[in-house]
Structure 1
Amino acid sequence: MVQSFNLSGILNAFRLIANPSLAMPHIIVNDIREIPMASLKKHGIKAMAFDKDNCLTAPYMSNIHPPFKEAWDRCKDTFGKDNVTIVSNSAGTLDDENGKEAQALEVSLGVHVLRHTDKKPSGGAALMSHLKIPHDQIAFVGDRILTDIVYGNLNGNLTIWTKQVISEKGDNKPALFIRRLEHHLVKMLHHLDIKPSPHPFYTNKVKQ
C-alpha cells in the first residue's frame, strides 16, 4: 500500500522555523536494538509508540525486521503489549481500506495499530486517547524527523530517532529524498547547538 500525499508533514515543517527544537530527538540510536528499554521504564516511561516502515519493518512489509525480533520482544515484555502501539502513516489511516493492513500488522507484530485520520506530525490526540497515559510518560520512536520526531515533540513525548534505515528498496522517492535532507538538518541543528524540547527523562539523563 502506497501512502497518499502528506500535506500535514509539509505544513508543519514551517513550525521548525519558529521552533527548531521540534526537529531534535531526545535520543539518537542506529536502530531499536540500541533503545535502553529498562532505563526508560526506570525513569518513568510507561508506554512506547513506534512508526512502522524503516523503523520496525522494511517499507510496506508486515513482519518485524528479523534482526530486531529480540529487541521487539524485549520491548513488549518490558512495557506490556497493551502499552506498545504502532502509529503509521499508511496502516490504520484512511489509505488503509477497511483497516486490512492494520489488522494484519496486529497479528504479525502482536500490538495495537492506531486508527487515525490525521497523518503525522498531526493527530497526537488519537494516541493519547488510546493509551490513556500522560504524554510525558510515552516515548515515540521513528526514523523520520519531519513526521515522527516532530509528532512526538509536538505531543510532549520522549522522542527517539532510529537513524539507520532498514532498506530503501520499495520506499517512495519523496521519502528517500526528504530523509537525506533530514539527516543534514539534524547535523546542522547540532552544529548550532539546538537542544531538544524539554522532557523530564532527558533532563534527568543529562544530569547523571
Structure 2
Amino acid sequence: MVQSLNLSGIANAFRVLLNPSLAMPHIIVDDIRHINFKHLKQQANIKAIGFDKDNCLTAPYVSTIHPPLKEAWKDCIETFSKEKVLIVSNSAGTKDDVDYKEAQKLEESLGVAVLRHDEKKPSGGQFLKEKLDPIPAEQTAFVGDRILTDVLFGNRNGNLTIWTRRVITEEGDNKAALIGSCVEWNTD
C-alpha cells in the first residue's frame, strides 16, 4: 500500500509555530508496554483510547501486532473493551486504502475497529469524535509515535496524548515519514 502525500500534516505543522504546546504530549513512554491502562481508566477517567498503527502497534504497513507488544495490547483491550479501542491510521482506513482492504485485515488481526476517515492526521478529529460519541474528547486518550501527526491530532482534539518515542522499525516505512520523523526520534 502506498500513502499519498499528507498535505494536512504539512499545513498543520505551521500551527505548532503559532502554538508550540500543540506538539507537547501529556505522557511520553518508550512504547505501549509502558502505558498503565488501568491507571488511565481508573485514575485519569479515560473512557476510550485511539492508536496510530505504523510504528506504534505494528511495523510499517504490517497488519499484525509487533510481537513484543502483544501482552500490552491484550491488557489495553481487556481494560477498555474492544468497542472503546480504535485505530486511526494515515494508511489503513483512508482514501489510500482501496476498498478498505487494509483496514479489514487490521481489524481481523488486532480485534478492534479501524476508523474510516477522509482526512489524514493531524486533521480529521471530527471522525474520531463521531465514532466515539457520546464519550467526550477529554475522556479519550490518543497514542502515537509521531509528534506532528499523532500528538498534534490528539492535542487539537482535546485528547490526552501519549507519545511512544521508540519506533518499531524504520524498515519499510515511506521516505516522507522517515524524513519527517528524524527530528522527533532524536530524543536521547
Tell me the equivalent position of 1:191. Answer: none
Aligned to 2:105: 104
Q: Give, as a single letter, the amino acid of the residue that structure 2 aligns with 1:49.
A: G
Q: Which residue identity is paired with 1:87?
A: V
Aligned residues: 186
Match of 2:170 in 1: 168
What is the Cα deviation at residue 183 of structure 1?
3.8
Radius of gyration: which is bigger? 1
* TM-score, scaled to structure 1: 0.87
In 2, Cα distance between the equivalents of 1:176 and 1:54?
Answer: 11
Out of 173-182 and 15-24, give the one that drifted further. Answer: 173-182
- Separation of aligned partners in 2, 1:118 and 1:93: 7
Partner of 1:56: 57
1:146-183 deviation line (CA, Å, top 9, x unaligned): 00000000000000000000011101112112111224
Judge conservation of contact 2:154–2:161 (CA < 8 Å) in 1: yes
Q: In the alignment, what sits opposite 1:8?
A: 8
Q: Percent identity?
A: 66
Residues 7-66 of structure 1 deviation map (CA, whole Å, 9 limit, x = unaligned): 000000000111000001000000000001011001200001000000000000000000
Runs of 4+ in structure 1 deviating by more than 4 angstroms, as ranges, are: none
Q: Give the structure 2 partner of residue 71 of structure 1.
A: 72
TM-score calculated relative to the size of structure 2: 0.97
Structure 1, unaligned runs of 5 or more = 188-208
Matched with 1:152 is: 154
Cα deviation code 1:96-124 (max 9, x no counterpart) = 00111101110000000000000000000
Query: CA-atom RMSD, angstroms?
Result: 1.1
